[in-house]
Chains A and B, each alone.
Chain A
Amino acid sequence: MFKGYLCLVLHGHLPFVRHPEFEDFLEEDWLYEAITETYVPLISVFEGLVNDGIDFRLTMTLSPTLISMLGDPLLQERYLKHINRSIELAAKEMERTAWQPGFKDLARMYFNKFSHARDTFLKYDRNLVFAFKKFQDLGKLEIITCGATHGFFPLMDVCRASVRAQVKVAVSHYESVFGRKPGGIWLPECGFHPGHDEILKEAGIRYFFTDSHGVLHGSPRPKYGIFAPVYCKGTGVACFGRDLESSKQVWSSIEGYPGDYNYREFYRDIGFDLEYDYIKPYIHPDGVRINTGIKYYRITGPGNNKEPYVEQWARDRAASHAGNFMFNRQKQASYLNDLMGKPPIIVSPYDAELFGHWWYEGPMWLDFLFRKIACDQDEIRLITPSEYLLENPRNQVITPSLSSWGYKGYSEMWLQGSNDWIYRHLHMASQRMTELVKIFPRADGLRKRALNQALRELLLAQSSDWGFILGTGTHTSYAIRRTKEHLLRFTRLYEEIKSNSIDEGWLADIEYKDNIFSEIDYRVHQ
């Protein structure tokens, strides 16, 4: 008997990294790895489910920066080169491990996986957004939007014009790609600041998500806790709170599934393990060892000793973890149903890149889970937020609390000793952008181009990813560089626009480098 709803959400995002000015750029690999390890495997899961007639529902963010990169011809060309190299390496590995039976099978596994990634990539005309769109059009997937460049909204509250620009640019970009308006938004880092729902409402967005305490600590007290959405006071935008119990089962590497000893070890890659001359053609041209994506070991145990990965064992674990997850949700739903007197909704959001990239077996687990939910039980039903709101339009009205899903639950990840210096400059740039829009409400020609580019530079500087990387304290030079670079470009544009001395050659150069959002309209920043 039906007891409650389960709303799975995958948040797919990568910052905009695209460097046409360099032949080979290490940070672009973030995208290539995610394509091979996360996006293609997810698409394959969806394809398999549809082919087998298994009904499923999944809500998924594709951030505007991610959509832009997936659709970019230069990055597509470079991905093809990247995956061809990976296939070549896997082929060599099959040869090298000929006398090493366990490893030989694994080398073949990677060879097949990489070849399949290339086939899938080519099948969708090199743009995987088409694949996701296909499943949205089939009614299985609900694709939601995100901040244009994933700016962390709570720390942009002193310049709400920028929050508005982040939302409006994202919404119009979504419309141009999917031919319809987005129903919902994933607030970057799940960061909500009271009042920002007004901006969402203006943009026609009907729902968003917060972390558990965003709803639980809202005011007035939410009657059903996080197991029913609430409407924001004054705007009626719906807010769904995250369920921590189901989150933790998947996220946690200690007590969660991904830490199972039979699963693949993320940190042992042949890019670091094999003899230097052999691996050199497949690592960074500067000679720095990097991940190749070929990883032969299972987690094995808490120590440093690692044993070879056994595909079948991992597969069995993924199936049993999927069964366990479903069982727990059934129990949870049935318990909550008794308590609430109505079906609860359990909202379980995850980083999409957790699946496949960090947790290699994640897509497989998801596949098992969808199949089991469809075939093995009738207590929980998968649902998207839009469908839920249609079926359950009456909800409580509250003001959700400031919150994020970052470390410690608020803004500290992005506001600490190592990254707090950026806000002085980011806020100043926002203020100046607003000033420019006021001075030039109807620019055209060269000035309009410069104003549009100024907004692109501002948005790119605002990505929460830079603050995040600075906060973690590792590999910070790229994040510093990007923050400064976009701010400096913005400042120069601001000065040139105001003094009517726009350097067209330079403008064309940065338009070519930072080519995101070709249809941007600077006037949204107000």
Chain B
Amino acid sequence: MKIFQKVKEKIKKLIPAGFTFKRKKKPQSAKIPGTRPDKEMPGFQETVVADAKFSHPEPARSARFIQEELPYQYDQDKIVLQVRDPRWVHTYWELRNLTLESLKSRLGDDFHRARKVLRVYDVTNIIFNGSNANSFFDIQINDFANSWYIDTGKPGCSFCVDLGFMLPDGRFITIVRSNVVQTPLEGPSWITDEEWMIPDDLFARLYGMGFGLGRSSPVGKAWQERIKQGLFSSGISSSPVRRAVKERSFWMKVDCELIVYGATEPSAAVTVQGKPVNLRPDGTFTLRFWLPDGKQHIPVKAVSGDKLEERTITPIVNRETK
């Protein structure tokens, strides 16, 4: 393990002095944790590139898409737990009215004084039977919530959640129980395969290379920061994709284009500045040019279909930009 301490120290050194990871606490009770889009985060650039695939403005077409809504819930008693990252899990739930009604008649007055609670059990390495959890903690929720993000703070552990009532006398009544999930490790495993034993220093070097710490690789700062800072400060989660806010710079752009148009017999051959031009069936033509500064001579010549007659008209245009 010493070796890992070393790697960690190395990582520390690589983080620029004075660098602080902002742990901004938003004043409002933000139940969704997250950080500001961080260009150094793993996956940032992947996100930008993938987003570029979908880069279009939205046309106004709401009228074409009036749509039914999805149901609010599905009339079942259910709670589902999912892993968001090594520390956070997400849960959503629903309860039938029937279930609530029967609880109400069972609990009587206590029903109204009971608080709705999520009980989060650490069930790492055990077969959970409802009472043998390694530990648990409670989160009080309001009546309107139907989902929650939970900071377990424990990578590499298993969790299960009960949605239930906490009664005034301290009793906890489970209404529904979730599935069990396991958070991933946040660093390398401490389990080394005996058959494939590898000296720690060798692995540390490989590990460092993987994260871009080897001597040929100055990159990988994102990972170093990640390991160092932990991923998960609180704040409002927002899009990592919106392009960097443009520096405040007022701007204006002016350009000039010149339209040259005319008409002749449909059978005639027309050239503009010596180059042939296609006529529309009615003998008209239109050309459009980006117009540079200076004087432009634009001889327009038409030769009749039988090549016996010709006309040349030469507009002269002067652009001067100040």
Chain A residues in the interface with B (C-beta under 8 A): 14, 22, 26-27, 29-30, 34, 92, 95-100, 103, 154-155, 157-158, 194, 211-212, 216-221, 223-227, 241, 243-245, 248-249, 251-256, 266-267, 275, 278, 284, 286, 288-291, 303-304, 328, 331-332, 335-336, 339-340, 351, 353-354, 357-358, 396-398, 401-413, 415-418, 420-421, 423-425, 427-428, 465, 468-469, 471-475, 477-478, 481, 484-485, 487-488
Interface-centre pick from A303, A335, A465 (highest chain B CB count, 10 A): A335
Which B residues lie within 8 Å of A221 (CB)? 188-193, 198, 203
Which B residues lie within 8 Å of A249 (CB)? 219
- B219-A244 in contact (CB<8A): yes
- State A296–B250 Cα separation when bound (angstroms): 22
- A472-B51 in contact (CB<8A): yes
8 CB contacts below 8 A, A to B, read A26-B59, A212-B211, A217-B184, A223-B203, A225-B209, A245-B219, A288-B60, A411-B84
- State A278–B49 Cα separation when bound (angstroms): 30
The reply on B109 being an interface residue by CB < 8 A is: no
Which B residues lie within 8 Å of A484 (CB)? 67-70
Which A residues lie within 8 Å of B70 (CB)? 425, 484, 487-488
- State A140–B306 Cα separation when bound (angstroms): 59
Closest beta carbon of chain A to B147's beta carbon, Å: 6
Interface-centre pick from B69, B82, B198, B296 (highest chain A CB count, 10 A): B82
The reply on B154 being an interface residue by CB < 8 A is: no
Q: Which of B46-64 contact A (CB under 8 A)?
A: 46-62, 64
**11 other contacts beyond A220-B193, A408-B231, with CB at 8 A cut-off?**
A96-B290, A218-B189, A220-B189, A353-B52, A401-B185, A407-B240, A410-B85, A412-B85, A427-B80, A465-B54, A477-B65
- B92-A420 in contact (CB<8A): yes
Interface-centre pick from B32, B46, B207, B246 (highest chain A CB count, 10 A): B46
The reply on B115 being an interface residue by CB < 8 A is: no
Which A residues lie within 8 Å of B284 (CB)? none
0/1 interface trace, chain B 246-270, chain A, CB 8 Å (1 if under): 1101010000010000000000000
Which A residues lie within 8 Å of B43 (CB)? 404-409, 413
The reply on B321 being an interface residue by CB < 8 A is: no
Q: Which 10 A-B pairs have the closest CB atoms?
A: A219-B189, A225-B206, A410-B85, A417-B32, A402-B184, A220-B193, A407-B43, A473-B239, A472-B241, A220-B191
- A98-B289 in contact (CB<8A): yes
The reply on B279 being an interface residue by CB < 8 A is: no
Question: Assuming the A-B contacts A155-B82, A304-B249, are A408 and B42 also in contact, with contact meaning beta carbons closer than 8 angstroms in the complex?
Answer: yes
Question: Assuming the A-B contacts A99-B292, A244-B211, A245-B219, are A288 and B189 also in contact, with contact meaning beta carbons closer than 8 angstroms in the complex?
Answer: no
- State A423–B242 Cα separation when bound (angstroms): 24
Closest beta carbon of chain A to B318's beta carbon, Å: 13
| Chain B facing A: main interface SS | loop
* Pick from A155, A219, A291: contact of B191, CB under 8 Å: A219
- State A243–B60 Cα separation when bound (angstroms): 43
- State A212–B56 Cα separation when bound (angstroms): 32
Question: Assuming the A-B contacts A220-B191, A253-B45, A481-B65, are A408 and B242 also in contact, with contact meaning beta carbons closer than 8 angstroms in the complex?
Answer: no
The reply on B214 being an interface residue by CB < 8 A is: yes
Question: Assuming the A-B contacts A216-B188, A255-B219, A472-B51, are A409 and B56 also in contact, with contact meaning beta carbons closer than 8 angstroms in the complex?
Answer: no
Which B residues lie within 8 Å of A478 (CB)? 58
The reply on B90 being an interface residue by CB < 8 A is: yes
- State A397–B212 Cα separation when bound (angstroms): 24
Number of chain B residues whose Cβ lies closer than 8 Å to a Cβ of chain A? 101
- A26-B217 in contact (CB<8A): no
Interface-centre pick from B54, B182, B203, B215 (highest chain A CB count, 10 A): B54
Question: Assuming the A-B contacts A225-B209, A423-B92, A472-B241, are A357 and B53 also in contact, with contact meaning beta carbons closer than 8 angstroms in the complex?
Answer: yes
- State A310–B240 Cα separation when bound (angstroms): 31
- B184-A412 in contact (CB<8A): no
- A244-B53 in contact (CB<8A): no
Closest beta carbon of chain A to B186's beta carbon, Å: 7
- State A226–B82 Cα separation when bound (angstroms): 27
The reply on B202 being an interface residue by CB < 8 A is: yes
* Pick from A154, A248, A303, A474: contact of B241, CB under 8 Å: A474
* Pick from B47, B83, B94, B146: contact of A406, CB under 8 Å: B47
Which B residues lie within 8 Å of A226 (CB)? 210
The reply on B74 being an interface residue by CB < 8 A is: yes
- A424-B220 in contact (CB<8A): no
0/1 interface trace, chain B 30-47, chain A, CB 8 Å (1 if under): 001010010101111111
0/1 interface trace, chain B 265-277, chain A, CB 8 Å (1 if under): 0000000010000
Which A residues lie within 8 Å of B47 (CB)? 406-407, 413, 472
Question: Assuming the A-B contacts A212-B210, A251-B49, A354-B49, are A475 and B85 also in contact, with contact meaning beta carbons closer than 8 angstroms in the complex?
Answer: no
Closest beta carbon of chain A to B28's beta carbon, Å: 12
Question: Assuming the A-B contacts A353-B49, A410-B83, A473-B239, are A403 and B184 also in contact, with contact meaning beta carbons closer than 8 angstroms in the complex?
Answer: yes
- B209-A336 in contact (CB<8A): yes
* Pick from A218, A354, A475: contact of B58, CB under 8 Å: A475
- A405-B184 in contact (CB<8A): no
Closest beta carbon of chain B to A227's beta carbon, Å: 7
- State A351–B237 Cα separation when bound (angstroms): 25
Which B residues lie within 8 Å of A255 (CB)? 219
Which B residues lie within 8 Å of A227 (CB)? 206, 209-210
- State A510–B29 Cα separation when bound (angstroms): 43
| Closest Cβ neighbor of B35 among chain A residues | A408
Closest beta carbon of chain A to B136's beta carbon, Å: 21
- State A111–B288 Cα separation when bound (angstroms): 17
* Pick from B48, B146, B192, B220: contact of A253, CB under 8 Å: B48
Which B residues lie within 8 Å of A220 (CB)? 189, 191-193, 196
- State A254–B38 Cα separation when bound (angstroms): 12
| Closest Cβ neighbor of A250 among chain B residues | B45
Which B residues lie within 8 Å of A416 (CB)? 32, 34, 237
- State A472–B242 Cα separation when bound (angstroms): 7
The reply on B73 being an interface residue by CB < 8 A is: yes
The reply on B223 being an interface residue by CB < 8 A is: yes
- B54-A30 in contact (CB<8A): yes
The reply on B216 being an interface residue by CB < 8 A is: yes
| Closest Cβ neighbor of B288 among chain A residues | A96
- A248-B60 in contact (CB<8A): no
- B41-A224 in contact (CB<8A): no
- B238-A358 in contact (CB<8A): no
Which B residues lie within 8 Å of A428 (CB)? 74
- A26-B56 in contact (CB<8A): yes
The reply on B287 being an interface residue by CB < 8 A is: yes
- State A275–B290 Cα separation when bound (angstroms): 11
0/1 interface trace, chain B 157-168, chain A, CB 8 Å (1 if under): 000000000000
- State A143–B147 Cα separation when bound (angstroms): 40
- State A304–B253 Cα separation when bound (angstroms): 12
| Closest Cβ neighbor of A411 among chain B residues | B84
The reply on B314 being an interface residue by CB < 8 A is: no
- State A409–B319 Cα separation when bound (angstroms): 56
Which B residues lie within 8 Å of A97 (CB)? 289-290
- State A290–B46 Cα separation when bound (angstroms): 23
- A474-B239 in contact (CB<8A): yes
